[in-house]
Structure 1
Amino acid sequence: MDFKGKVILVTGASRGIGAKIAEAFGALGGIVIVNYLRNRQAADEVVNTIRLTGGEAAALQADVTDLASVERMMAEIIDNFGTIDVVVNNALSHYTFNPKTRKPAWDLQWKDYQTQLEGSLGGAFHVCKAAMPYMKAQHEGRIINMVSNLTDFPVVPYHDYTTAKTALLGFSRNLAAELGAFGITVNCVSPGLTYPTDSSRDTKEDVRDILTRLTPMGRLASPKDITGAVLFFASDLAGFVTGQCLRVDGGLVMV
């Protein structure tokens, strides 16, 4: 795969899965925009890693839940690089995957759902809305949205998080149906529990062991495992693939 000259935005890319995705694009020649919310130092470290592998990168701050903030970021991308070719919507509202501290259905408030919807669905909506005019004008683009295999197999009922990711999956399929006429593909990558990340760091060892035993490949995903699926959807190899969801969980979910 070669992304030389391609301008790629990865949201929530200062750490975890997002950082590995950004670094993978950079290693393949992409011009990578490392979006971050607060941690400029971490974002700069990702940028430096990309530059060391010969890629080009820049860190841009934006709150993806705020359309005006996203529009400012997109305007800066266009001013500096002239286009936007690939968007990876990875940012989300903070979440901790710990079955022992999660809220059961009867303790959840609507604001819990709203927080997750604003991060996963709202963030993707704002970024896609800002990127679509440029992708439509060039009659080409790739949008990859990060969901979760919990939408298929809620082995632990993280109600608010999983509901938001399910909404993002529906949003992605509707976008794919409409944007295909403009040469824009929209696909989803659905990771299983990915360890270590900030969200999974508090997942207890007994829970990780259960998931490992249930997984045919006998281990949990690492952040690096997720990058291949994202690169595929962003590449020319997936030029006629849209509206799909690729599960990256070692076979835990088979559909």
Structure 2
Amino acid sequence: MLLSEQIVLVTGAGRGLGHSIARAFAREGARVVVNYRSSRARAEALADTLNAGSLNSGSSIPRAVALQADVTSPEEVAALFAAAHAHFGHPITTVVNNALADFSFNGDARASADTIGWDAFAAQFEGTVRATLNTTQAALPAMRAAGFGRIITIGTNLFQNPVVPYHDYTAAKAAILSLTRTLAADLGPHGITVNMASGGLLRTTDASAATPEAVFDAIAAATPLGRVVTPDEFADAVLFFASPLSRSVTGQNLVVDGGLVKD
């Protein structure tokens, strides 16, 4: 299925990386569900901008809708999928699991091994693993019926390069990599692919706003491209997993960090 034929849910798209991913899909002609939990004004502003761009290009088809849902809630996710179907007249074909439980990438303020509590891990697992399970299960009936589906999870290069031991965040992302691969094996016979795109530190998202400039400089100096990847550059890699170019790719983890980590 061409990108322009897809209806794409981007969770946590009201801000940060999700904002860039939603814009990238809309640029390619996809219809986009801009999901948000609390960033209503920013999500609705993005949807308005994407729809205005569609009208300016001569298309009368609305390209985006902003829909609220806490993706850790199965009931809210089910309502989200129903609302998206009602709005566009077709079910969601593609899910980008981008939503991130509240987290600040500030190594100086991280919890260390002797102080971090299980509540921090539980929050990250809820926001990452449970949320992905909820969206996947909500998407499956329509994807199976169509014989087509694209599920994309967002990971991290801290698996391979734990330069800052964000114990809770990295553990949850590692779990979602495992789920990505088991889902790929389970859902492949139905024409559904499941892949992960993993970034490093991005310049700049809401989550990385607390990162000291010296850290950005150090990463850029260690990266073959000599710079830190931007959210827009990362979003383009996400498009690959949704596009026909990746039709035979599933269960994979693509590291998008300018060549910093070799996997």
TM-score between the two structures when normalised by the length of structure 1: 0.97
Task: Give the number of equivalent residue pairs.
Answer: 255
Q: Distance in 2 between matches of 1:224 and 1:154?
A: 24
How much does 1:213 deviate?
Answer: 1.4
Tell me the residue number matched to 2:69: 62
Please tell me the residue identity of whatever aligns with 2:46: V
Of the three residues 198, 207, 210, the one matched with 2:206 is 198
Does the 8 A contact of 1:23 with 1:49 survive in 2?
no
Q: Deviations over 1:30-53 (max 9, x none)?
A: 110000001211001111221233
How big is the shift at 1:250? 0.4
Q: Which position in structure 2 is the counterpart of 1:13? A: 13
Q: Which residue is equivalent to 1:71?
A: 78
CA distance in structure 2 between the aligned counterparts of 1:231 and 1:52, rounded to whole angstroms: 22
Percent of aligned pairs sharing the same letter: 45
In the TM superposition, what is the alpha-carbon distance from 1:210 to its structure 2 partner? 1.6
Q: Encode CA deviations 1:78-132: one digit per residue, 9 max, x unaligned.
A: 2333211110000010111111100001101111100011111111111111111
The answer on whether the counterparts of 2:155 and 2:198 sit within 8 Å (CA) in structure 1 is yes
| Cα pair 2:92 2:142 within 8 Å, conserved | yes
Any gaps of 5 or more consecutive residues in structure 1? none
1:6-46 per-residue CA deviation (whole Å, 9 max, x = no partner) reads: 11100000111101110111111111000000121100111
**1:109 matched to 2:136:** no
Partner of 2:3: 3
Aligned to 2:240: 232
* CA RMSD in angstroms, aligned pairs only: 1.2
Q: Deviations over 1:182-208 (max 9, x none)?
A: 000000000110121111001112222
Residues 1:169 and 1:222: Cα distance change in structure 2 (over 3 Å): same
What aligned pairs does 1:13-162 form with structure 2 within 5 A after superposition? 13-54=13-54, 56-80=63-87, 81-162=89-170
Counterpart secondary structure, 2:249: coil
In structure 2, the residue matched to 1:254 is 262
What letter is aligned with 2:244? D
What are structure 2's unaligned runs of at least 5 residues?
55-61
Which whole-Å CA distance do the structure 1 matches of 2:5 and 2:244 have between them? 14
CA contact (8 A) 2:185 2:251 kept: yes
Q: What TM-score does the superposition give when structure 2 sets the normalisation length?
A: 0.94
Q: Which amino acid aligns with 1:11?
A: T
Q: Which amino acid aligns with 1:161?
A: Y
Distance 2:160 2:192 in 1: 26
SS of the aligned residue for 1:9 comes to strand
SS of the residue aligned with 1:26? helix
Cα distance in structure 2, aligned partners of 1:13 and 1:219: 25
Q: In the alignment, is the contact (CA less than 8 A) between 1:10 and 1:21 conserved in 2?
A: yes
